[in-house]
Amino acid sequence: MTKILFKNGNVFYHNKLQKLDVLIENDRIAAIAQELTDADEIIDLKGNLLTPGFVDIHVHLREPGFEHKETIATGTNSAKYGGYTHLVAMANTIPCMDDVATIKDFALRVAKDAKVHTYTYSAITTELRGQELVDFDANSKEEIVVGFSDDGRGVQSSMMMETAMKAAKANNSIIVAHCEDEAELQPGACINDGNYAKEHNLVGINNASEFNHAVRDLKLASEIGNRYHICHISTKETVAALTEARKTNPLVSGEACPHHLILTDDNIKDMNPNYKMNPPLRSKEDLAALIQGINNGGVTVISTDHAPHAIEEKNKPIDKAPFGIIGNQHAFSLMYTYLVKKGLISLEKVLTCMSINPAKVIGIEHDLEVGLKANLAVFDLEEEYVITKESIKSKSINTPFLETKCFGALKYHVLDGKVTKI
């Protein structure tokens, strides 16, 4: 039996930061207390942050079908270097994750190549087309499936979404929704329908394209009583609708991404396509509402929507380039540097929204607690670094945060008791 002791940590335990030691025995947490001593190996953290590993419930790993953008190996390694111990891949692969055979194949790939615990969503509809429901009963029985999502496409039909919610409820599963009303979209729409779009003669994406479906779905979820989660919230109206819904329905939840919490469309530079994602960077008012939503508990999860693209794909005019940016390697450092250090969101809130809350949303057991698997991350909050192309672990480099200075360097990653020194 191997005992590893992390001493003198600033430990995020029971929702607050405490000066504690953490003992790992084999793959589990054996003790959390002050002045622990009995161990085979002692690692002095010297006051560094020790937290439950992060859980990203919104990641595009691109495999199978788009391995030139990312693979399970590279995408999960990127997550590992961001302090993540669990993630959930989206279903928009080729073939689509819409049947048992494809899901089983993905599980085999994960067992071979994944660097962190990796799950997937089944699609809601066949090939994400919104026309035919997948076999919820069969797909939900696969252990690697933790929910259902057509992310990349909104489910346009209210009747189809209602049927999907009922099927998810029957299987004690969750609908994870990309809210996008295609009736509100104009051809060529590429960034927020704001000043930057008007000044540069670009077609804008309005707020209603998101909140129309969010409002519709929250009403349906309340009537049906199923678990329901909103992906990548970007508008003040969606925040308001979700916050109101959660007053009476604890089964609904939603996530914000670091880029929507840090940047607005005013930050777009030189029509750089690395500032293009879906939903787009919104207004200052929308950003402020997202921060308020995190702080008041209306928005409970921070996910990345890690969406890699090859250089030649992304290096096109902003109206022609694909939507999406990478995000899981630097999410915590960006949140800490540009929100926590500025006093906009507390460190405890960020850690909760990146670890404990997303685990609860998808129904996995994960926390810093005696007896549970040791899935942890250690950060030096005083160490500053720069995000460079050379340091990126993803196969792709499409991010607006290149050359950005951050505080909060990962020092140790712990996966089921296996300690990696970074």
301-302/41-44 β-pairing: unpaired
Range(s) within the chain of domains with CATH label 2.30.40.10: 3-49+373-385+406-421
Task: Determine the pLDDT at residue 1.
Answer: 67
Task: Determine the pLDDT at residue 84.
Answer: 99
DSSP character string of 228-268: EEE-S---HHHHHHHHHHTTT-TTEEEEE-HHHHH--GGG-
CA gap 191, 281 in Å, rounded: 7
pLDDT in tens, the chain (422 residues): 699 999 999 999 999 999 999 999 999 999 999 999 999 999 999 999 999 999 999 999 999 999 999 999 999 999 999 999 999 999 999 999 999 999 999 999 999 999 999 999 999 999 999 999 999 999 999 999 999 999 999 999 999 999 999 999 999 999 999 999 999 999 999 999 999 999 999 999 999 999 999 999 999 999 999 999 999 999 999 999 999 999 999 999 999 999 999 999 999 999 999 999 999 999 999 999 999 999 999 999 999 999 999 999 999 999 999 999 999 999 999 999 999 999 999 999 999 999 999 999 999 999 999 999 999 999 999 999 999 999 999 999 999 999 999 999 999 999 999 999 99
Query: At 168, which helix (H) or strand (E)?
Result: helix 158-170
Mark whether 305 is an active-site residue: yes
CA gap 328, 285 in Å, rounded: 25
Identify residue 127 by its one-letter amino acid code. Answer: E
Backbone angles phi, psi at 140, to 5 degrees: -70, -20
SS3 breakdown of the chain: % helix, strand, coil, rounded to 5? 30, 25, 45
Q: Indicate the SS3 state at residue 31.
A: strand
64 and 95 in contact (C-beta within 8 Å)? yes
For domain 3-49+373-385+406-421, the CATH superfamily is Urease, subunit C, domain 1 (2.30.40.10)
CA gap 292, 153 in Å, rounded: 27
Range(s) within the chain of domains with CATH label 3.20.20.140: 53-367
CA gap 296, 292 in Å, rounded: 6
Q: Which of 181, 305, 319, 416 is catalytic?
A: 305
For 188: left if phi > 0, alpha if psi spans -120 to 50, otherwise beta; the answer is left
Task: Determine the pLDDT at residue 222.
Answer: 98
395 and 267 in contact (C-beta within 8 Å)? no
Class of domain 53-367: alpha beta
Task: Determine the pLDDT at residue 398.
Answer: 98
Show contacts of 381-389: CB within 8 Å, 24+ apart.
Answer: 381/48, 381/49, 381/336, 381/407, 381/408, 382/407, 383/407, 383/408, 383/409, 384/409, 385/333, 385/409, 387/330
